[in-house]
Chain A
């Protein structure tokens, strides 16, 4: 039987009341909005990616709908960890784990931001090694396994909270990135970030996003994300967090069968609003019950049997 305990998940030392996690970049700019997402039923919440210095982000258009998903190039707008640490401090009594997403232009920067985030009260930090539209940061660092290892190692040396490495799918061998992260001490791996993409308006013959290129999310990238989770699950022993196109319990179940211990939900908020966290959780509980499983753990990676 699946009860409230059966839907609980232990993720790299964090205790999640259910396997749904707010993905980075969605709503996580203020303490109040993160509280609202927790209140709506998420098992954990992730902040927007925070850097050492404030960043304005790009000029609009920054988010548009494309075939089966969203395309965005917000450009990592954030007030910098100095100001943002005030928001983190306001979340001391948050009912669920708070993951602070961190980006930087060097291993030192990542580790400095992560240190302040952890000191301010983050339950875990997630390293954004995968944003496809920030020059010099994100995927530009995260496409190289050696650099991924350096960043993870530098951060692990400065914080005691669990460290998640969020990886890009835009490489030939995503498992190599995961291995580099895990052997440098990452406590979990998140896969995937948005996929570098573009849309052009044929009427005006112009790229629509002001940054021209951005990251694709939503249903369009789910099969790519599921494949990455599947490959990573075989390559490393740390837990995997699935991300990319989760909107229903079926999507979440697919990620779990591929090897995800938890799933992040982002773009689906545009279509299902915050109710998505509860509906996915309820659906997963029913699925487990229907199939005779007692916990989420029992289905993680099940599709790997031959």
Chain B
């Protein structure tokens, strides 16, 4: 009989090894953790900022035992996290949830702003698997685009095409990431679309994938307490984002179409429009 214990659920404390600014409000924090290093793209961890909050974050990179999360300041917890310096201690639980799976020889990766973070680890794996990959990253303005240099660098040495879009045209193509994605899909070469961004964007990508008959894997986000499938705070339809997700297939998303990109639940469990 196994005990009431799994290693991933156990809180560990780790030291921040590196803290680098990506943009004014986004930072990448690196720490060493063997379990996190075994994570697949799209999986997430719960990061405890002692005395402040605990936040769900997808892993943005894995290099040996060193992993990273990329954090955008959106509230008290993320603000405190982004103020942390090298050597300071955070708690970590995880990695949790489902992950992106490599499917087919040609991939389209669509990221919206901070949603690009988990996709960076995916792109790394796609390129390692020699999948022909196009990344579309969209943001409102130039300052919202992440990993621009890193993606450009990755493109130099691998079969990777990168398209940036901004709503105001301050960088790359003017318009929405989904418009650029549609152009690529209409050319008919893509086997699988991978998406992560705000949910209205994900809903658009979902509809595009349906229209063009390609597979979709998309990561969703919900308010989360436990991250281990018991508290129910992160439910969308019959699914728990922490356990059945965060990465969902197109068929799964079809089952929650009523809610996808339209409603979510707040901390109290009350439904709110997006």
Mark A residues whose CB is within 8 Å of B: 25-30, 32-33, 35-36, 48, 54-57, 59-65, 67-70, 72, 74, 77-80, 83-84, 201, 203-204, 206, 208, 210, 218-220, 245, 247-248, 266-267, 269-271, 273
Give how many A-B residue pairs fall within 8 Å (CB-CB).
138
Does B10 reach chain A (CB closer than 8 Å)?
Answer: yes
Does B137 reach chain A (CB closer than 8 Å)?
Answer: no
**B10, A27: Cβ atoms closer than 8 Å:** no
Known: A63-B225, A65-B228, A70-B230. 19 other contacts (CB 8 A): A25-B231, A27-B231, A27-B240, A29-B232, A30-B269, A33-B238, A33-B240, A57-B267, A60-B46, A60-B48, A60-B225, A61-B48, A61-B91, A69-B4, A72-B231, A77-B225, A80-B268, A245-B4, A248-B1
- Pairs across A and B, CB under 8 Å, 12 listed: A29-B235, A55-B268, A60-B46, A62-B225, A63-B225, A63-B226, A64-B93, A74-B225, A203-B89, A206-B51, A219-B3, A271-B2
**Residues 23-54 of B at the A interface (beta carbon under 8 Å):** 46, 48, 50-51, 53-54
Mark B residues whose CB is within 8 Å of A: 1-6, 9-11, 13, 46, 48, 50-51, 53-55, 77, 89, 91, 93, 225-233, 235, 237-238, 240, 243, 265, 267-271
Interface of B is mostly: loop
Interface of A is mostly: loop
Closest-CB distance, B1 to chain A (whole angstroms) = 7
A59-B53, A78-B269 in contact; A270/B230 too (CB < 8 A)? yes
Closest residue of chain A to B269 (Cβ to Cβ) is A29
**B4, A68: Cβ atoms closer than 8 Å:** yes
Q: Could you say which residues of chain B place their CB within 8 Å of the CB of A68?
A: 3-5
Closest-CB distance, A119 to chain B (whole angstroms) = 20
A219-B4, A248-B1 in contact; A267/B230 too (CB < 8 A)? yes
**B5, A206: Cβ atoms closer than 8 Å:** no
